[in-house]
Amino acid sequence: MHASTHKTSLSNGRVVHASDLGRVTQVNADDLRIMKGLSIKKLTLAPGAIRAPHWHANCVELGYCLTGEALVTVLGTRDFYSVFTITAGQMFHIPSGALHCIENIGAAQAEFIIAFRHERPEDFSLQGTFGAMSDATLGNAYDLPASAFAPMERTTEGAYLVKRQGAPAIPADAGREAAHKFDIEAQPAMLHPSYGAARLGRAQFWPALTDIAMYSLHVTRDGMREPHWHPETAEMGYVHTGHARMTILNPDASTDSWDLAPGDVYFIPRAYPHHIEVLGADEMHFLIFFDQPMPGDIGIRTVPAAFAPGVMAAALGIPQDQLPAFPHIVADPLIVARVNPQST
């Protein structure tokens, strides 16, 4: 299987940070040039480690917890402030420009997949912002003498991960529902045939989302994500578990097919037709991010119901009496049964 311009690995992606506190790898448009409007990171936090307070100047952030337990703190405009816990299978949303941090409050390592609504996210750190200001300026801001800030390290970059001192400070109500928290894996599956299921993190169910969304997609060896395209949204996927093959048609009439394994990332520009097929006996689980809050698609299974047989025959270049006996389907099933052997 040849290398693809649509796919790379996040597990072996560009390392943003690596230390005893954790590891961060990244895939953006510098790593996968076809990316536009979306990018992705994997964040691993050791017990007691914190993704230091920061914000993104040009995009929102959407995170999914793979393992562990974390405390997310968010400070936004109009005095918006929220603190909530996140565990495996739950998500968080951070508005553009909102100051936030992610703190591992468990005894085990915590892992997150984090998508950004820009192909090259811009970060500002709280430590770097303090470092850019004089002691006198900071003293004036807090009604303190300038000497109060003399012990602070002067840096405009700021540490990526930091170590908590002492036990975590967890508010009593941190486990409650919050506007920027979403328990996606606890949602009813919108599709739950015996060959797959999808749970949807989109504005219909999570009003905080304004320009991004995510689907948690499970497909068994007996199922297939039907050929389809998204007229108004690009798609970026992360392979959590399982193996699959993806095929895409490019505008120059070339096709691209590649195999996917855990840790891989792919990117599909808007309106490019593509499909996903499970490889092997294990169920696949994909986290699929979109650059719209209400992504939609056109599935190939609904096409024959929309066009007259004569049009279909002409389009496919066959006599009308040799058209396949297409089922009349008007609602896109998203996942279909695989009644034929694996494609080659």
| CA dist list (Å): 327 to 297, 305, 309 | 19, 8, 12
Extract the tokens encoding 88: 């495996």
- pTM score of the predicted model: 0.94
- Residue 309 to residue 338: CA distance in whole angstroms: 25
Chain region(s) in the chain for CATH 2.60.120.10: 7-182, 187-337
Q: What pLDDT sits at residue 339?
A: 86
For residue 343, what pLDDT band results from cuts at 50, 70 and 90? low
78 has pLDDT over 80: no
300 in helix, strand or coil? helix
274 in helix, strand or coil? strand
Helix (H) or strand (E) holding 155: none
Distance of CA 137 to the CA centre of its chain: 39
Fold topology of 7-182: Jelly Rolls (2.60.120)
Residue pLDDT, tens place only, 162-208 = 999 999 999 999 999 999 999 999 999 887 678 899 999 999 999 99
Average pLDDT, rounded, for the chain: 94
Superfamily of domain 187-337: Jelly Rolls (2.60.120.10)
Buried b / exposed e along 72-103 (16+ C-beta atoms within 10 A): bbbbbeeeeebbbbbeebbbbbbbbebbbbbb
